[in-house]
Every structure is written in C-alpha cells, then in structure tokens.
Amino acid sequence: MRIDYRVPQPIALDISLDIEGFCVLLGRSGEGKSTLLKAVAGLLSARGTPYDNLPPERRPIGYLPQGYALFPHLSVWENIAFALRGPKSAQRAEAQTLLERVRLADLADRRPHTLSGGQQQRIALARALARKPELLLLDEPTSALDATTRDQILGELIELIGALGIPALAVTHDPHLAAMADRMAVLSRGRIVQQGTPSEVFGAPAGVEVARLVGYHNLFEGRITQRTQTETRVSCDDIGLNVALAHGAPSHGRVILALRADDIDLGYADTVPTHGHNQLPARIARLRMHGLGLHLCCDAGLAVALEVQIPRRTPRHDPLHVGSEVTLSCAPTAIRMLPAVD
C-alpha cells in the first residue's frame, strides 16, 4: 500500500511512503511522526491518498495511540466492544473472537491496569481490529514497554501483525524497532529522506541525519586523496583511512565518514589488533561501564573524539583507565562515506 499525504499544520509534511508488512517510520522527536498518523487517520486537516475527504469513522484504519488509551473503568472485553455495534451479547462474542486473534482469550474480564504493557498493547490491537482495518497505525509502540522485555514483546507483536496479514505503519525514534521491521523509512524536515529494508538503510545511510538516527556515533569530515578499484584513501586531520568503495558513495572532494562505535576494535599499544586495517594510536579520554562491556571516548588525533563500544570485557580490558594508550582499528568495509554537508 502506498500513502501520499500533505499536511500544512501544525508542521508541514509532504510524505510518500510504501507500506509493506510491518513498516517503521523513524524520526527525531518533533519531526511530525504522530502528526502524519493523525492525518492518515483523518484526525486533522490534511490532503492525501488513500482516504481523501473521508471522515475518520469511515476510514478502514486501526489506530493504536501512544499509551494505547484503554478505558481504565471498563473490562478488557468492554474496551474492545466500545468499537462494536449491535446487541450486547453479540458484542461480547465478537470481542472474544478478537481476543483470540491476539492470543489473549482468557483475559476478557480483567481491567487494563492488571495487565502487562505487552498485554495492554495487544488489547489495543484487538480493539483496532474491531474496525476491520486495511491498515494499522501504531504511535511509538515501544514507549510504554519495559526495557527488559521490550524486544521480545515487539517481536511477538510484529509476528502477530504479520499473521493477521494487515500492513502496519509504526512511528518511532527508536532504531531498535526500525531494525526489526520488514521495511523502514526515515523522516526529516517534513519529507522521507530514505526508505528500504533495515539492512539497506542501516548498511548505507543516505546522509548524516540518517546515519545519526540509525546509530553511527562517529561522524567526522575528511577529503578523498586517492582512489583504487576497491578502496578510497581519505585524509582526516592528517590521518589517512582506507574506506571500501560502496555503490553511490562520493568519488572526490570533501566527505563525512560514519563509523559505528561497535565496529571499532581495540588493542593495547603493545599488541597487534586482530586485523591490520586502519590502525590509529589513541588515548582514552573517558570511560564508562556499559552492561558487560565498556563505552570509551578516545582521542585519536581526529577533530572529534572516537566513541568505542567494547561488547564484553576480557581480563585484558580490566586495566583500562583514562589515559591508557591503546590502538584502535577498523575494517575499511565498516566505514561509510557520506556527502559532506555545508
């Protein structure tokens, strides 16, 4: 399904988006993600296809707002029945069928506050299904979930929506959710700046804004000085780096290099890193624990400090401290080359 929407207020949007399976629209806070969903649902004034000029109640859309908006004083089945018509007994039977579709048949008489965040989310989904939607819209589906179970609950939700066979558009600023989608798009300054599968977008961000949103912590400027058939040599503050050639990457002049914190390897000054590419002597400027690993800020002579994520501490990592001399290294294929921004 394709949606084309133009929204004048409260923020100008001009959006064309292909929705297949579970699609995630990623954007910073305030970019207009909720505004787009409300426009498609007919809850604010906008022009676009499909559903142009249809009042909200006639749009075949299932809308899950942030926090789900379940009625606390109604039972689960009454929350779902709120979207149904007809005699009470028929409503109850249909609510029960919808609860079975979201695999929560035994919770019909509970109140929403007695359920987990993931269960509440599925009740909201059941209520949305009562409208027989041809499109599901989910506003920040991660926001009310517990961080420890979030990925599991979202995995189950995505699987469930896939089994229902209804295309879904979820909006979020969370790259973890985007990484789990069938397709994703990135919203910036009112437009879609990139869309594709998560591996296409995470693997080849179209620009600095996308790179930042999908977790490239290290962004720094350089100038292309040499090019071979497979690699480009880029000079960054007098430090030379080899970058693997990628389709569509700039071929000359100023560029921005993007590098993920967990794509940098760390060796001690007296050890040779696991691979011989792009070795940078560096000094640890800051260091903090990150789960089982470490997050480091290292001064390697570039204009910016390099952020380095070590997933698991080995016994050799224990002596690391501010001021330690280390050798950073990264493979040429780990560095993305983006057009420079003026």
Ligand X SMILES: Nc1ncnc2c1ncn2[C@@H]1O[C@H](COP(=O)(O)OP(=O)(O)OP(=O)(O)O)[C@@H](O)[C@H]1O
As measured in angstroms, the least distance from the Cβ of 239 to ligand X is 37
Binding of ligand X at residue 48 (CB under 6 A)? no
Binding of ligand X at residue 32 (CB under 6 A)? yes
Binding of ligand X at residue 141 (CB under 6 A)? no
Among 18, 21, 34, 221, binds ligand X (CB under 6 A): 34
Residue whose entry in the numeric block shows the structure tokens 């260091």: 287
Among 6, 11, 144, 281, binds ligand X (CB under 6 A): 11
As measured in angstroms, the least distance from the Cβ of 142 to ligand X is 11
Residue number with CB closer to ligand X (35 or 218): 35
Phi/psi of residue 286, each to 5°? -145, 155
Please, how many CA atoms are within 13 Å of residue 112, restricted to the half-sphere of its CB?
Answer: 19
Among 33, 122, 183, 277, binds ligand X (CB under 6 A): 33
- Bridge partners (DSSP) of residue 234 are 224, 241
Among 5, 17, 19, 27, binds ligand X (CB under 6 A): 27
Binding of ligand X at residue 96 (CB under 6 A)? no
Please, how many CA atoms are within 13 Å of residue 79, restricted to the half-sphere of its CB?
Answer: 27
Binding of ligand X at residue 188 (CB under 6 A)? no
Binding of ligand X at residue 121 (CB under 6 A)? no
Among 31, 94, 209, 263, binds ligand X (CB under 6 A): 31
The DSSP secondary structure of 183-223, one letter per residue, reads: EEEEEETTEEEEEE-HHHHHHS-SSHHHHHHTT--EEEEEE
Please, how many CA atoms are within 13 Å of residue 154, restricted to the half-sphere of its CB?
Answer: 26
Q: What share of the chain is helix, strand, coil (3-state, %, to 5)?
A: 25, 30, 40
Binding of ligand X at residue 183 (CB under 6 A)? no
Binding of ligand X at residue 30 (CB under 6 A)? yes
Binding of ligand X at residue 142 (CB under 6 A)? no
Radius of gyration of the chain (CA): 24
**Residues at the contact surface with ligand X, assessed by CB under 6 A:** 10-11, 27, 29-35, 173
